[in-house]
Structure 1
């Protein structure tokens, strides 16, 4: 499932759709928590920096909001409502009530393979906006120039537009033999992942710079590795890798399939994200926070293997199914993964294991 725009190709990695026990809608509590603990920062930034009155004077009585990588479930509606509340408060401070004098348009974006049917059926009955689905990759253009006032993207930008070419090339020094992700010791593999992430972020920022109205705001939650900490996602990736290798040893899947499988995600360092935004030059960082600093410590350490396995399945089952074609192996993969994760999470009370995530609020550099 790959779409093309010019010479750049994009792979699609949708979350599990529907509302069943393995769906993203039922297994995205971590993402909801991240949105919840950052909502006041995003809201305050919008109230402070978004000039609603100026938008109305120079265009129309329409405010457009877009959530990029919305997936399926209630999280996107929670985030959108938080943005609308902030816009309403700002408009009130400027002498108008948004629900009386402005019309709101909300665009829910994700790949065309996303389960938009379930998403749109779940729209709040008392919503205060006109809703539309926008299928397509956010690594490229999605909207007309200067048309969107507020962009949001939560827990989506770590998904790469494609698996880095070098790590699946047997003739490359970065060939990721026998691994499905990388560790800090895998310098060349890590560099290949980092380079693909940088390329994707550059394309993302260039597209949004054209689509965002002057003075518009973009809020981003990106799963970032905090400085001087151990990588929680790396633990999960290593657990999944061990499961796949053991299944290959049992003949349930082939070793060649394992060797050619790589997770299409990259967890950057928070400073890496900042540097890429600054290097791009089209946006200025107005706020940045590391999520682990906002979590209650007890919540931060409350790692449950069952929930972790279900969330991993909701996010990665489609990727695994697309690569490992054997019927009926998903249940076994995640049964074993839960066991491995239960063993691994015994490490997590160590405070050097922290929740991933960084919040970035950015505006046009010249706005």
Structure 2
């Protein structure tokens, strides 16, 4: 009888959904003001009563909002709680719980995730191979910013870093996925047997490299800064992915499909738009290495070089792969 009454209550009083003029989302300012009015009290309660020692073993912090509607108020209240928890951690000299971590390590509790999705992220390495910055090593990448136009030693260093990263990625996800869970991945790369010099990535990075060399010649950036700059990005082929999955042993490859896309004259193949895409992807790395002041000049120069050599991009293809991995049963 009690459970029937609970079901009746839960089904009888839902708030009005959607975002229309009569929706709860647009007509719940009173509730929002109430939450804001107790923000200081909530912060004080968490600061004084929350036992951090209970959270540390699991390396995670879970919040559940128990309400009866949808809308922005939930986000505001949870945001207030997160801020209070951050202050609690900082007050005890602990790491901020909201600092993001690398996906090449553990992120979630064991067997807590049913499906992972990652799109255009796994081409980024966790770090640049150290040997590329060692002047006494054959892999020293003097004057080059990537392995695509470099020596065999530099290529091998990038390959080794990729294999190391992917093993760490698969090992972490294997622990976090439930048995039978899936990973859906879209990874940019290149078909086996295709020269890397034929790829769009090669041309893009070659032009950025040429711009940086021009700026060294002008005295805008130092030669030393250029020699120590390498982009931590790797283009894999399907066979490399298959090899690391097999070596890890925790996943079966359910799907592995090539998704080719030819650059279109009217849409993607536009110098201004292409330059903007390049800036969005690489500006953060440029700022970190060379400082903010040179970014406008660099990408203006990059845009001009693109206009001059845009025809070179026409026969090139951008290739990515759809991969579905399934966590094997025990």
The superposition leaves residues 135-154 of structure 1 with CA deviations (integer Å, 9 ceiling, x where unpaired) of 21111000110000010111
Q: Is residue 119 of structure 2 the alignment partner of residue 154 of structure 1?
A: yes
Question: Could you tell me which residue of structure 2 aligns to residue 105 of structure 1?
Answer: none
- Alignment map for 1:1-367 (pairs within 5 Å): 135-183=100-148, 186-227=151-192, 228=194, 230-292=198-260, 295=261, 298=264, 302-325=268-291, 327-350=292-315, 353-366=316-329
Counting helix residues as a fraction of each chain, which structure ranks higher?
A: 2
C-alpha distance in 2, partners of 1:243/1:226?
Answer: 28
Deviation at 1:194, TM superposition (A): 0.8
RMSD: 2.7
Deviation at 1:323, TM superposition (A): 0.7
Deviation at 1:233, TM superposition (A): 0.5
C-alpha distance in 2, partners of 1:338/1:303?
Answer: 12
C-alpha distance in 1, partners of 2:181/2:99?
Answer: 20
Q: Structure 1 300/266 Cα, relative in aligned 2: closer, same or farther at 3 Å?
A: farther
| Maintained 8 Å contact 1:226/1:354 | no
C-alpha distance in 2, partners of 1:272/1:299?
Answer: 32
C-alpha distance in 1, partners of 2:238/2:206?
Answer: 22
Counting strand residues as a fraction of each chain, which structure ranks higher?
A: 1
Deviation at 1:301, TM superposition (A): 8.6
| Maintained 8 Å contact 1:301/1:349 | no
Q: Structure 1 202/366 Cα, relative in aligned 2: closer, same or farther at 3 Å?
A: same
Q: Structure 1 299/355 Cα, relative in aligned 2: closer, same or farther at 3 Å?
A: farther
Q: Structure 1 251/134 Cα, relative in aligned 2: closer, same or farther at 3 Å?
A: closer
| Maintained 8 Å contact 2:254/2:326 | yes
Q: Structure 1 147/300 Cα, relative in aligned 2: closer, same or farther at 3 Å?
A: farther
Deviation at 1:303, TM superposition (A): 1.9
TM-score by length of 1: 0.60
C-alpha distance in 1, partners of 2:309/2:171?
Answer: 40
Q: Report the count of equivalent residues.
A: 238
Q: Structure 1 298/330 Cα, relative in aligned 2: closer, same or farther at 3 Å?
A: closer
Question: Could you tell me which residue of structure 2 aligns to residue 103 of structure 1?
Answer: none
| Maintained 8 Å contact 2:211/2:298 | yes
Query: In terms of Rg, which structure is larger?
Result: 2
Q: Structure 1 329/184 Cα, relative in aligned 2: closer, same or farther at 3 Å?
A: closer
TM-score by length of 2: 0.66
In the alignment, structure 1 segments of 5+ residues that lack a partner are: 1-123
Task: Give the match's secondary structure for 2:136.
Answer: coil
